[in-house]
Structure 1
Amino acid sequence: MEENIEAAETCITKWDSNASYCNLASLFSEPNREEAKQYLSSIKGLQKAMQYLASHQSTSHQLLRAQTLMQTAMKRLRREFNQILKSSRNCLDPESVSTHSSSTPSLSRSSFSDFEEDDSESIPEADRVSSAAMADLRAIAEAMISAGYGKECFKLYKTVRKSIIDQALYNLGVDKALSFQQIQKMEWETLEAKIKNWLNAVKVAVRTLFYGERILCDKVFAISSAIRESCFTDITKEGALHLFGFPENVAKCKNTPEKMFRILDLYEAVSDLWPEIESIFSFESTSTVRSTAVNSLVRLGDAVRTMLTDFETAIQKDSSKTRVPGGGIHPLTRYVMNYISFLADYSGVLSDIIADWPLSVPSPLPESYLGSPNKEESICSPISVRLAWLILVMLCKLDGKAEMYKDVALSYLFLANNLQYVISKVRQSNLKLLLGDDWVTNHEQKVSKYASNYERIGWSKVIASLPENPTAEIQVDQVMDHFRNFNSAFEEAYKKQSSWVVPDPKLRDEIKISFARRIGPVYKEFFDNYGGVQLQVTESFVKYTPDDLGNYCSDLFFGSASSGSGSKSVGGGARTSR
């Protein structure tokens, strides 16, 4: 025991911080690393001597001598510990630690001496320096904790590291002073900017700051689970609570459907990071951090469900009396489908949010509306049913708006246009995957039905003006009546419909082709058979050739009678020479 004390005294006295001859260089710097190993070894020997003397010779002057030496050694180690923490601030920043931890073998070394024995040249310089600093800190921490100076070591570490974490969070824009009352009073543009900043900050905070600090605490204080937990908790808890409390405060504010997507962004961010949050803050003393993150998810989920309900209610209560000129796309259709298309982009988080939130409707959605569940399983998922229901609510509202058109044919064209727009938005977005092919097919058939009804009603007089059998023998006066009636009916229908629109090119072509097939062949046969009979009698009654009809029809559905190839006034006697 006396030999251990003598050896310790020689080494410890040499590096005594109070001695006038003390070496001001770091004991753990490169030229002195061998002495650092001896220093730590002498402390272990001194500790064994003290334990023996305390048990067998508690009043020995040697024990007092050993205690004085230990105090001197601990003072030096405190200085070294503090110096390494501050001088290695850059290489021990959370980003470096979190980035290099998984790829640096030296991070798993158990002591200072182990680092010295590894001369691997494959380790990058930055990793080597970071690993050396961690190994030194760990060796010092083990020595101080074993000697009963764990509290001093803990205080030093916490003071330096907390300032680093707090400064990093401040640089990320995490505002500690932002209360619920302040958030509630913010203009939406200001709050949205803070949400965007938070979305960027939270990923860095969790995956870099907190993760890196957890690794560093685990490595430095591997010898004591209690100190390791206390250190990490004291350093990160305050900042983490401010960080994860922000989404909860946002969710508690009054949110309109327009704010839905930022709320979903917040939910998605916390949800994606939850496994890491749970792992990093796994200590019992950090349970409030985990519960704050969970509460944020719960609050955000509640806010989303409320906004979905408000959105549905807003559709049902829409009372606008606006008749879209020409039966075009209603603003409600555009707004709702754009909104639902964006919702489909969040189908993953929405599925989590509404998984236990059944749709409350007077009766189940009709199978013909959703498609066959046997063919399209996805349509039965909660999110698919929810979005399909919102579309159905809107379509029912459009049925009522179609009744505002006095012309029945125009009301059917309005329904065809708007449903075609709905289908196009479904095809162009993730709604296609959620609603399925059967849904699209069923609604395309409805568009065809609406278009057919428009054609049947809108051109019924024109069709009725032609003879049932255009090749049958009829009297000249009847021929003139047919031409006269056709001209009148066609001009009336064309004049009325020249301002009607079909924005979708595919639907527009389909309607024109269907119209041409229904009227064109019958009129051509009649024209070929009777357009030249007793020309001097019938000429004034034949205003249109079959080609003229084609030209006029090509102008339809653009909202102007003179926008296409047939740039002539209807009824202007544009008959071509035969």
Structure 2
Amino acid sequence: MTKRWILATKLIAKALVVMQRQLLAQNCGAFNRFKGDYFMAVAKQSIVVLLKFADGFTSTQSPEKLIYVLELYETLSSSAPGLLHLFTGPHTELISRQVPVVLAKLERALRTATGALAIKIQTESSQAEGVGVHPLAEYTMTCVELLAPHRAALDMILADGGEGERATSFGGLVAELIAGLERSLEEKCGLAFADGSPSQHLFLANNTSFVLSRAADADVTSLLGDEWAARHRSRLEQHTARYLQASWGPVVACLETAGGKPAKALAKFNAVFDEMHGSQEQKYMKLDKSVRYTVDDVAQSLSELFEGDAALLCT
């Protein structure tokens, strides 16, 4: 419905301009005295219908409808100057009063919806299953990507929020959403790996890497700042190093405790590697076991655990 309203608003604005031009250019005889009033009546009725529809969304506060209401707001905001230019006399005053009222109500609804989105991310209750990217991380960063094209409108809407609002800019909103996501993931990690399993570091590394990548894709890293990016890259490196040390340190140690016997060292390495990789795979498809692992085999196996990101292993 909002898509149709947006299209109708654009078409009506163009149609009214053409209608006004044609009426002014034509000699309609006795009707010349009334054609101005006739046009004003048609234009007023058209705008009132559009405003009534938009006003119906001013009570919408659902995060799921945030993008639709935001697009509606942007269309009305950008179309308003051209529409108001069509009116003269008392009609101008009437429409000029109604449009700002509807826009202000939409702004309040959008601020409430962004706050509700932040709360939803912070309080989402699903548990961590496996060590891969959590659905909440995917949901949050998808929201960021969808909101990114509307950053100019959100900057204006959030800046006018007044005292007590959480974020006062689009960048502030993104930072709040990601911070809420990370707090939620930390809680889920603590519950899922309460036994202190090294997998907790793998879970956090995969999700931190995902957030960094999607933030870059949405072109919001610059809004978050160099310090934010550096802190998250450092956090990623720490989780990766802790996981590798806790899980694979004993495997590597097999190569150092074979008493100078390479064949025995490699056999023990293969056996311990198979056991450790099998326990860490969780939801991933198990690799076919081989008698001997090459360097590429090891890199590929570990890459699967890190959501296919072999770059994490370059340490």
With normalisation by structure 1, the TM-score equals 0.45
> How many Å apart are 1:352 and its aligned residue?
1.6
Q: Which residue of 1 aligns with 2:103?
A: 297
> How many Å apart are 1:408 and its aligned residue?
3.0
Assess if the C-alpha contact under 8 Å between 1:497 and 1:556 holds in 2: no
Q: 1:250 aligns to what SS in structure 2? A: coil
* Equivalent of 1:341 in 145, 160, 168: 145
Report the aligned-residue RMSD: 3.5
Tell me the amino acid that sits aligned with residue 8 of structure 2.
A
Assess if the C-alpha contact under 8 Å between 2:76 and 2:103 holds in 1: yes
Q: 1:290 aligns to what SS in structure 2? A: helix
Mapped pair 1:555 → 2:288: no
Assess if the C-alpha contact under 8 Å between 2:133 and 2:206 holds in 1: yes
> How many Å apart are 1:465 and its aligned residue?
4.5
Mapped pair 1:244 → 2:23: no
Deviations 1:405-450 (A, max 9, x none): 2453211111111111112211212324533555434322321221
* Equivalent of 2:157 in 350, 353, 371: 353
CA distance in 1, matches of 2:260, 2:12: 92
Mapped pair 1:272 → 2:272: no
Q: Which residue of 2 aligns with 1:383?
A: 170
Deviations 1:233-265 (A, max 9, x none): 33322222112221111223x442111111011
Tell me the amino acid that sits aligned with residue 343 of structure 1.
L
CA distance in 1, matches of 2:279, 2:164: 44
Assess if the C-alpha contact under 8 Å between 1:458 and 1:493 holds in 2: yes
* Equivalent of 1:324 in 124, 129, 141: 129
> How many Å apart are 1:227 and its aligned residue?
7.0
Residues 302 and 279 of structure 1: is their aligned pair in 2 closer, same or farther, counting only changes over 3 Å?
A: same
* Equivalent of 1:427 in 210, 216, 224: 216
Assess if the C-alpha contact under 8 Å between 1:248 and 1:296 holds in 2: yes
Larger Rg: 1
> How many Å apart are 1:549 and its aligned residue?
5.9
Q: Which residue of 1 aligns with 2:205?
A: 416
Structure with larger RCO (C-alpha < 8 A, sep 6+): 2
Mapped pair 1:455 → 2:201: no
* Equivalent of 1:402 in 168, 186, 189: 189
Residues 433 and 356 of structure 1: is their aligned pair in 2 closer, same or farther, counting only changes over 3 Å?
A: same
> How many Å apart are 1:320 and its aligned residue?
1.2
Deviations 1:26-62 (A, max 9, x none): xxxxxxxxxxxxxxxxxxxxxxxxxxxxxxxxxxxxx
Assess if the C-alpha contact under 8 Å between 1:345 and 1:430 holds in 2: no
> How many Å apart are 1:399 and its aligned residue?
1.1
Deviations 1:75-116 (A, max 9, x none): xxxxxxxxxxxxxxxxxxxxxxxxxxxxxxxxxxxxxxxxxx
Tell me the amino acid that sits aligned with residue 74 of structure 2.
E
* Equivalent of 1:442 in 224, 228, 231: 231
> How many Å apart are 1:557 and its aligned residue?
4.2
Matches within 5 A, 1:62-461: 194-209=1-16, 211-215=17-21, 230-252=37-59, 254-321=60-127, 323-325=128-130, 327-357=131-161, 382-403=169-190, 404-405=192-193, 406=195, 408-436=197-225, 439-461=228-250
Assess if the C-alpha contact under 8 Å between 1:233 and 1:286 holds in 2: no
Q: 2:67 aligns to what SS in structure 1? A: helix
Assess if the C-alpha contact under 8 Å between 2:6 and 2:72 holds in 1: yes
Tell me the amino acid that sits aligned with residue 171 of structure 2.
S
Tell me the amino acid that sits aligned with residue 248 of structure 1.
D
Structure 2, unpaired ranges of 5+: 28-32, 285-289, 306-315
Q: Which residue of 2 aligns with 1:493?
A: 276
Deviations 1:525-574 (A, max 9, x none): xxxxxxxxxxxxxxxxxx976x5465344333436xxxxxxxxxxxxxxx
Instruction: Provide the identity percentage.
Output: 24
- Number of residues of Structure 1 aligned to a counterpart in Structure 2: 293
Structure 1, unpaired ranges of 5+: 1-193, 366-380, 502-542, 560-578
> How many Å apart are 1:307 and its aligned residue?
0.9
Assess if the C-alpha contact under 8 Å between 1:267 and 1:297 holds in 2: yes
